[in-house]
Amino acid sequence: MKGGSRETGAGRKVALSEVNDDLSKYLRLAEKGAGVITRRGKPAAVLIGFESEGDWFECRLENDPCFPRRIGAPRLSVHASKGVRLLEGVGE
């Protein structure tokens, strides 16, 4: 391992200059766990890899600021007994 990277409790920290030298290597490592990219020794970004397209989609949903609002209204409707649960009426 070069001097610009080190393991931490939260994953790997890697200097931006090192990532620039071998990005494909760090993309492969990111599939196993997120890494922090540093600039001048300070955290600047997080590199997160995905094993599948589904993992990528899930990450997008988790980090979409509109997602909680989009699912909030239907959930409130169901809790207020104004909605129909998917399993209601099945097999009748």
> For residue 32, what is the domain's CATH number?
3.40.1620.10
Shared domain check, 57 and 31:
no
- Rounded distance between C-alpha atoms, residue 88 and residue 92, angstroms: 9
Q: How many structural domains are present in the chain?
A: 2
The confidence score (pLDDT) of residue 8 equals 41
Predicted structure pTM score: 0.51
Strand partners, 13: 6, 36
The confidence score (pLDDT) of residue 69 equals 74
Shared domain check, 34 and 57:
no
Q: CA angle 26-55-51, nearest 5°?
A: 45
Shared domain check, 58 and 41:
no
Domain of 10, in residue numbers: 5-47
The tens-digit pLDDT sequence of the chain (92 residues) is 344 555 544 467 888 888 888 888 888 888 888 889 999 999 999 888 888 889 888 888 888 888 777 777 766 666 666 666 666 555 55
The confidence score (pLDDT) of residue 79 equals 66
Q: Establish if 89 belongs to a structural domain.
A: no
